[in-house]
Structure 1
Amino acid sequence: MTSRQFRWVRPVAFLLVASLVAGCGLPRVGPNKREIYAGSVQRQGDAFIVTVNDRVTRATAVQPALGFTDNFLNAGLLGSDTISPGDTLGLTIWENVDDGLLTGATANQTILEEVQVDGSGFIFVPYAGRIRAAGNTPEGVRRVITARLDQQTPDPQVEVRRVAGNGSTVSVTGAVSGQGVYPIEAPTRRLSAMIAAAGGIAIEPEVAQITVIRGNKRAKVWFQDLFKHPEFNIPLRGGDRILVEADTRSYTALGATGTQARVTFETQTLSALEGIAQVGGLTVSASDPTGVFVMRNEPAEIANQVLGRDDLVGAQRMVYVLDLTRPNGMFMARDFAIRDDDTIYVTEAPFAQWAKVISALTGTLGAVGSVSTASSTLSGDV
């Protein structure tokens, strides 16, 4: 066998590899621009593909509105001395006689350290009887006790002290430094002060959300809005539950980006440009800056506004196109808002696929060449 018998190896190998590359799909990060556009409604697909401009940016700039309802905003400030069921009172009673109703022969005062306000709002004081304390102040209760004892002992003197009990407390849970049950006292009658009493939030302020649950009603605000909007710093009520948690919104980044992952929001608002930057930007060696897509299910009212229609019903699949190479492309990406559950997809540049083809060809041909060389060497020895 001579080397002439192997002259056909290289051209046949090239044809075989070319056929293999043409017939088999090369690895890639996802669909290309042509395939995405093929799924548009205009081409019998099920998604509306829209190029982002200023009008589209304004129509889609919708963010979740957080705030308190009127039930929370219109609640008056709870008096720091108002007694509630479950509170504990401390009483001291002085009598102007040596042997009084409550005092012994050698003392003229009686101290009742803990008098519990029952569930109906009443307390019991010996010789004064059952007295309604809930909704009253210590001064009001003092006058009632004094008036009743005055009928039985001369010139009684009464002191009533309020000690916060479980009837005027709130629970603070979630991402705070000190979870627990805290009394509503003069310094902690408002929401921000109560959070401070619990040690403050233990997460980034930009993503912290505060939920207040009062009975069967609940409302949520951004932590930072407590200070931007003073009306959100609402008065508290006994039994309120305060939950501090991080924003749960997220988006998915796929394609030719630095990282392909599901990413949580790091700020209250997030632009497409910030979303791309948050995952490491575009892949320099593979991305196509003309093919940046944002995919979402858009509510019908927004979809109709974007498309200039009024007949769409229900959520619509929308694909928004950003071309970063245009003169205003970066500005459009900076102004276009990303929303919860969005998908940012960046297509590969066409040359990236060619590079893969060439790599496949040269790599395979290199292997074939090695085999051919080895065969030629062996044939020369025969």
Structure 2
Amino acid sequence: MIRALNAPCQRHPTPTGGKTLRLISMICCAALALAGCSTVYRSSDVIPGAGGGTQVRVVPLTGETVTQANRAAYAPQSLPEAYARTAGTGAGVSVRGAGRLPEAPSTQEGLRNQRLALKRPPAVPEMSYQIGVGDVVMLATPTTRNTLEELTGLLAAQNSRNGYTVQDDGSVNIPDVGRVRIAGLTIEDAEELLFQKLVEAQFDPTFSLEIAEFNSRRVSVGGAVGKPGVLPITLTPLYLSEALAAAGSVSVADIDVSSVRIYRGGELYQIPLTDFYASPDLQNTRLISGDAVFVDTDFNLNRAERFFEQQIRLKQTTLAARAQELSELNTAISLRRSDHAEQRSTFEAREDLGANDRDYVYLTGEVDKQTRYPLPYERQASLADALYDAGGGIARETGDVSQVYVLRASSDPREFGAVTAWHLNASSAANLTLATKFQLRPDDVIFVAENPVTKWGRTLRQITPSLITTPVAAAVN
């Protein structure tokens, strides 16, 4: 009796518990069968052939089929011109503020029976050349080395041709000596002044002064000459015959109605060509700085005067026009830049609000994010761009990398409902290079199928909760 009481208690399955286990086993078998025939869980798939009103043709992606797919005509949308133009492009501004330029004097046919009047300029006294602003002077040192070689910069070294321009205040600046005003002085007076300055600065004053370039005193020659231009006055006097010869000589058809006119100090002088060629004294008329010589075939003295007025007005209006043109150019560029910025801002705002008509590609199936990918402006987009730029890459846990499709409907109205499914098998990583070459077209659908394990798991999750909880609840009761 005691043994019976102390013996271990053995449990035997009750009839109800055995039925529950058998029921669960049957449920699992049913789930597998239902999952295989997709009775409970249904998902999208690419089915070749005809069905549901759509004719599907599956084409595997190869180098040849990618070339064939890319032949579909498509022109990417363009950005507005405001993104391509710059403010300076085409922003040239004409000279509007200069006003009407003075007209050149026209030639008139003179009367042969009316002799041109001779009005020669007054004689110019002989005087030495005076250094002026713009002239280039040179200080030449002795051949032996001495303390003067300590001067660098403005003092020229031995055999050097470096010149030094007389500045607008009429002076040259010598290091360790200072500014020395030499404008208006002759060469002799300038040498004496520089000698004193060098002695005061305790430098060896042995030097010679030369003028390398003559720029301060000039004479302009124009009209009926071979080469109109400006001639400098140097240490030697400049005579009228020499000036005309340097300008290419006189070129007139009839000397009887032609003359040489000289504008000097507000006065206009006239030498008829017949008198000029007949008189050596007139040919040796000495010119001075500021003279304007004009050879005219018109006997009217007033017409030559208008020529010189024109030159003065032309220079004045040109200078004024440059300033106004620069101002107008800056204003035009600023307006263009503001206009371009406003156009770009408006376009970007419309883009954010979805008001612009864009071309899209759609990503669906087992992708990280089901979305639409806008095709870029002004370039082609590839399948790889859409998969990786849009954040809709293949889902690593649920997507079947061997079943990636690009679905493209036929553009031929006679083939309405026909779809070509370009199939990419990405289970081989080398095939991903085809994705970088496959060009997308508007309304393409990129579809990634689910792998078989994912499909079975989703089916099981849908049917097992209700089938398991009902028998268990009955067994407990």
Choose between structure 1 and 2: higher strand proportion. Answer: 1
TM range (shorter): 0.3 to 0.5
Q: Which has the larger radius of gyration?
A: 2
TM-score for both structures, normalised by structure 1: 0.42
What is the TM-score when the length of structure 2 is the normalising length? Answer: 0.34
